Amino acid sequence: MKLLNKLWDRGQEFLGVEYPIMAGAMTWISNHKLVSAVCNNGGFGCLAAGNMPPELLEQEIEKTYAATDKPFATNLITIAPNYKEHLKIAVAKKVPFIIFAGSFPRGSEIKMAKENGAKVLAFASNESIAKRMIDSGVDGLMLEGMEAGGHIGHVSLVILLQQVLFTIKDFPVFVAGGIGTGKLMAHLLLMGAYGVQMGTRFVATTECEVHPQFKEAFLKARARDAVATPAVGSELNVVAVRAIKNKGMNEFSNLQMKLIQRNRNGEITKKDAQYEVENFWVGALRKAVQDGDLEYGSLMAGQSVGLIKKQQTIKELFDEIINEAEDELQRIGRFFQ
């Protein structure tokens, strides 16, 4: 890894890990077992808080500490109903890294996390937001393209790289969205990324404890099967979700229409309607991940699902990614000899 080590040394130092490869936080999937397995194999695990009961998050953090002595993150969804309690718990438990997702954290929340020793990262979808987050005190940025699974933004990674990665200098930026090979990781590191984040590929690892049918769906899916959900109108400000297409997606469209009509009739507030939307995804994802319901559960996956060919251990996945990256850097280097 002679060439690779020259490129990702900044990411190694920032995260305190052997490989600056982050396993993205996936609700109902990224629990203490998967996070600790990623960490113990040299990568960087992210515990998904989602909207789990606060006491359960506390237990998951404690179990992660018990299973690994390596650095890890807790991913907090700022729009989740339990978010404020989650933040208090993560701070009290002195989680090494806190990643804010969903929307933008307040400056006071960033300060609260940092004062208790955590390094803070936040997502940025354009240059102005990136600068705003940096001014607010974050230690690093997450750049995620719409190719990713789960809740997504509107812009592809190719554009975000040009808008943010190429313009933000000498600051930790980690890149996510559609990444599934070591070859691409090599090029992203050459562009200036401190490291990469993958989520979808970790679902197909043996250490990932999801329903066998859920995992099998990932192994069979093509890239074009992972589609973004449609938003019915603009009244609910629904954030698109990328998942493998199934009957559950049609159900989501029907739910939006019902909620919009109820809101217009004064039967439900906009805020409560938005909570209903989030509750739908929480429940649907659990159906798929834990019960193996492939028709009406939510099969959240990035378009990199089309790159998954087999089930692997986390060690095998890291070995593959790293060897591909080093080979690609060696190949590129020969052009300049």
Per-residue pLDDT at 233 exceeds 90:
no
CB 272 within 8 A of CB 263: no
- The token pair at 140 is 């690093």
Per-residue pLDDT at 29 exceeds 80:
yes
Residues 102 and 122 in one domain: yes
Q: What is the pLDDT of residue 1?
A: 67
**Range among 226-230, 232-236, 326-330 with highest mean pLDDT value:** 326-330
Instruction: Give me the domain span that covers residue 107.
Output: 2-210+308-336
CB 27 within 8 A of CB 298: no
In a domain, 117, yes or no: yes
Q: What is the pLDDT of residue 105?
A: 94
Residues 43 and 124 in one domain: yes
- State the average pLDDT over residues 179-191: 97
For CA atoms 206, 21, 161, 103, the dihedral sign is positive
In a domain, 302, yes or no: no
Residues 16 and 165 in one domain: yes
pLDDT band at 72 (very low <50, low <70, confident <90, very high): very high
Residues 17 and 78 in one domain: yes
CB 24 within 8 A of CB 176: yes
- State the average pLDDT over residues 165-171: 93
- State the average pLDDT over residues 273-288: 86
Q: What is the pLDDT of residue 68?
A: 98
Q: Distance between CA 126 and CA 1 in Å, rounded? A: 32
Q: If DSSP codes are grouped into helix, strand and coil, which group holds residue 196?
A: strand
In a domain, 296, yes or no: no
Q: What is the pTM of this model?
A: 0.94
Of 289 and 237, which is predicted with more confidence?
289
In a domain, 14, yes or no: yes
Q: Distance between CA 12 and CA 80 in Å, rounded? A: 31
Q: If DSSP codes are grouped into helix, strand and coil, which group holds residue 119?
A: strand
Residues 159 and 250 in one domain: no
Look up residue 47 and give its amino acid. L
CB 44 within 8 A of CB 60: no
Per-residue pLDDT at 164 exceeds 90:
yes
Number of domains into which the chain is organized:
2
Measure Cα distances from 194 to 4, 131, 161, 307 in Å: 12, 17, 13, 23
Average pLDDT, the chain: 94
Residues 129 and 264 in one domain: no
Per-residue pLDDT at 197 exceeds 90:
yes
- The token pair at 268 is 């439900």
- State the average pLDDT over residues 177-194: 97
Q: What is the pLDDT of residues 86-115, one digit of tens each?
A: 999 999 999 999 999 988 899 999 999 999
Give the rounded percent of residues in the chain with a pLDDT score beyond 90.
80
Q: Distance between CA 184 and CA 5 in Å, rounded? A: 16
